[in-house]
Amino acid sequence: MMISTVLVATVTNHYCSNHVSGVMISDELSFQFSGFGGGFLMYDFSGRHDIVSFIKEVHAQGLYACLRIGPFIQSECGLPFWLHDIPGIVFRSDNEPFKVYMQNFTAKIVSMMKSENLYASQGGPIILSQIENEYGTVQKAYGQEGLAYVQWAAHMAEGLQTGVPWVMCKQNNAPDRMINSCNGKKCGQTFVGPNSPDKPAIWTENWTTRYRVYGEDAPVRSAEDIAFHVTLFIAAKKGSFVNYYMTMIFLLRPDFALQYHGGTNFGRTASAFVTTSYYDQAPLDEYGLIRQPKWGHLKELHAALKLCSTPLLSGVKVNLYLGPQQQAYIFNAVSGECAAFLINNDTINAASVPFRNASYDLPPMSISILPDCKNVSTQYTTRTMGRGEVLDAADMWQEFTEAIPNFDSTSTKSETLMEQMNTTKDSSDYLWYTSRFQLESSDTQAILEVSSLGHALHAFVNGQTVGSAHGSRKNPRFKFERRVSLSKGINYVSILSVMVGMPFLRPVSQFCLIRAFLERRAAGLRTVKIRDKQDNYDLTNYSWGYQIGLQGETLHIYTELGSSQVQWKTFSNAGNPLTWYKVDAPPGDAPVALNLASMGKGEAWVNGQSIGRYWPSYRSLNGSAQTWYNVPRSFLKPTGNLLVLLEENGGNPLQISLDTASISQVCGHVTASHMAPVSSWIEHHHRAKNPSKVSGRRPKVLLACPSKSKISRISFASYGTPLGNCTSSLALGTCHSQNSRTVVEEACLGKMKCSIAVSDRRFGGDPCPTEPKSLMVVAECQ
């Protein structure tokens, strides 16, 4: 079971009292086990897996839940490997063995929820459930058995009688009573719509970014792009539910949800080549810190949409074309209220369009929400990692180096190369392949050739390091070739094959249907050959010995108890591969990030709990995919914290630091032509014909530091024509009010949050009457 959600904030509906509104928490659940044997399955619902306590807390906070049972999940560890060993099983098909285990799991979760009265039909918070996950992207690979499976899954789920609707995402042929939904970035354009008129249009995963992959640059999606497609989905598709991947807030109806929070793939839960940090570019990052401008921009969007809730919920929709790439969606309520969405689909050019006796300027690729929403002010935050304690004293560290096994020391033997996952059963990322062969004379110019199905390897000949190699997310297969020195007589080859997560599932095409069948995936060594000056040796079908995992893993030396099972040595700085390092980590109470930029590849544990794999040495042109690793405060103790790292490639632990994640800087930029923050319209909404002209409501720069910190310094302030923006260097323009810094400091210093109206009067007069003006402020948080 995986809980991939975090509490965000409470949203209340001021204008639609006959419709429920609030925050929705979305849980994705997959198979998880604590043991499997003798035909019995044991589930683990302890600790962070305690889904019942989590849903109860959701209820206690007055929130709602969407329970996405799956049980298959795309990128988060998939299905447990023990299912692979069930005789005759075919995953996610009309296959009796798979259906038995899937039904047992689903029924188990539903039973747990029912027994605690957690469904909305019982007075609980769960108002939606989901079965399966994006099956429509692979269904064609299964033919008629895929269609039968979809029908069976729907019938099975409905038969559990939860009393709330069920969802199937990316399943356009979802059976009756199953709501088909969209996943993606542009569901306002790509969603075909509900497959029945009595089903709502819902967007179960709006990808605010994408998961990051080792060796690739970070995917970036702007706040403006997200807001555009959310608004388009609501206006064009009559959308009622949008889930920002990964925590939901619904605004207009019980089934309108939005998702916000990044996460962390602790332990070995990340799929192949996916970083430990997961969706860190979400409006709330993996540390729970606000990421601007996404947070603020979307908050304004949601407030604007809520002002339109009555015509959206009960109005009649009309589509009007305003130009070749411009159109309007208008919702007219019986009460006379109207909401209009003016859309410019031109990605390059702005457009001026007539609408109801007025002209509106539409920026490229934009949607203007009328009557009140025209533009949104901008705020940026800068997350920094405050340099904490640097663990640079050699006497702080101890090390333990793994022994390199050879053929004679292994207990498992085979006459061929064994597939890795079938051998390890996903109990470890590591599998040793060892063999031996005899030469009549020494050779210092021999070549070792290895072909691997993935994901990485470290090679040793006669106990000496030869080299390493790895594949990539797009192509996990790779070849390794190194010059080696061989001795006369018996030579030993030891190769450590490494997986970096279980295989993920890609959408299938007519040319590659096989990728749908996860139970057929393979990893590990495929061929091993030696070329020397006299002959070629194909070791592929020689006798091979195997060792699953590393000695340190077997002994759990990353725990207090297991640590005493081996003889640790003082730090040597030798940089040997396959070395464990341990140190006592310092205490603290801020979000902690372990800076592993100096390390190569491996895994880290804090007080026996894995904080995930690390791989800073695998770089793209713009650097490492991840260097800071989240250490939840719940993992730490007041004193005596044990930090253990398994380093595969060498690395330098003396440059590791325990840093603190914080928002150190906030920046706001608002022009005089911006509208006031949408939240300020609420009090005037019902008593003003044109809320944008209500006295006292002006555009404002809004600055906010995180909790427990205050604005300590104003590093830049200019009312006039400042140059630059919040993401680049700033400078004073030709027009600048000399009162800028004084006004801003009086309003903001020593406060957690502040607002400054953008007006000539606020700054003691107009510094340049003929120029359009704006206010730019950069503040430091401490």
Q: Is 134 a catalytic residue?
A: yes
**R_g (Cα) of the chain, nearest Å:** 29
Q: What is the DSSP string of 450-516?
A: EEESSSEEEEEETTEEEEEEE--SS---EEEEEEEEE-SEEEEEEEEEE-SSB---PPP-TT-GGGG
DSSP-derived 3-state class of residue 60: helix
- β-bridge mates for residue 669, sequence order: 378, 776
Name 92's Cβ contacts closer than 8 Å, sequence gap at least 6: 72, 98, 132, 135, 138, 142, 149, 516, 518
β-strand 201-206 against 239-244: which pairing, if any?
parallel
Distance (Å, whole) CA 642 – CA 478: 36
Cβ atoms within 10 Å of 53's Cβ, excluding its own: 11
Amino acid at 194: P
Enumerate residues 6+ apart whose C-beta is below 8 A from 554: none
| CB distance 435 to 458 below 8 Å | no
CA distances in angstroms from 433 to 90, 268, 417, 544, listed in the order given: 29, 21, 8, 7
Amino acid at 88: G
* 132 is a catalytic site residue: no
- Cβ pair 372, 679 in contact under 8 A: no
Q: C-alpha 340: how far from its chain's center?
A: 34
Query: In a 10 Å sphere around its CB, with 0-12 CB exposed, 13-18 middle and 19+ buried, how is residue 693 labelled?
Result: exposed
Tokens describing residue 579:
């070395």
Residue tagged active-site, from 28, 132, 205, 553: 205
User: Which residue is catalytic, options 28, 76, 132, 134?
Assistant: 134
Residues 6+ apart with CB under 8 A from 247: 5, 6, 7, 8, 25, 26, 259, 260, 261, 284
**Catalytic residue list:** 134, 205
